[in-house]
Structure formats: structure tokens, C-alpha cells
């Protein structure tokens, strides 16, 4: 029983650490992005592709 609790705690800790690293990486990427490249959000690209596919 104690082994499974330790395993669950370790997996939870690793998941939180990975999530924290990804969040910090995303924020740093937004702050220190190159100024001459425009910010492109994935949802905006998907919306444009959908709008273009609906035009006839």
C-alpha cells in the first residue's frame, strides 16, 4: 500500500513539474519572441482556413 502511494505522489509531482515547465516556456516564448515576426495564434489560423474553405 505504501509503495502505491509513493508511486502516485511521484507521478503527480512529475506531472505538475512538467506542466510548470511548459507554462513557463510558453510565457518566455511570448515575452522574448522575435519582434519582426507577427504573433500567430493557432486558433486564428484554423479560423482562416475554415473561412477560406467556405468561400465559393
Q: What is the pTM of this model?
A: 0.49
- The larger pLDDT score, comparing residue 30 to residue 56, is at 30
Alpha carbon of residue 2 to chain centroid: 34
Spell out the domain ranges in the chain: 1-32
pLDDT of residue 53: 75
- Show Cβ contacts of residue 39 under 8 Å, excluding neighbours closer than 6 positions: 30, 33
DSSP type of residue 18: H
pLDDT digit string, tens, across residues 1-55: 778 999 999 999 999 999 999 999 998 888 787 666 566 666 666 777 777 777 7
pLDDT of residue 41: 62
Give the Cα separation of 38 and 56 in Å (integer): 29
Amino acid at each position: 500500500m505504501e509503495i502505491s502511494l509513493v508511486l502516485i505522489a511521484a507521478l503527480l509531482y512529475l506531472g505538475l513539474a512538467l506542466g510548470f515547465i511548459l507554462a513557463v516556456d510558453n510565457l518566455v516564448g511570448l515575452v522574448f519572441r522575435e519582434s519582426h515576426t507577427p504573433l500567430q495564434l493557432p486558433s486564428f489560423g484554423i479560423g482562416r482556413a475554415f473561412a477560406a474553405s467556405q468561400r465559393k
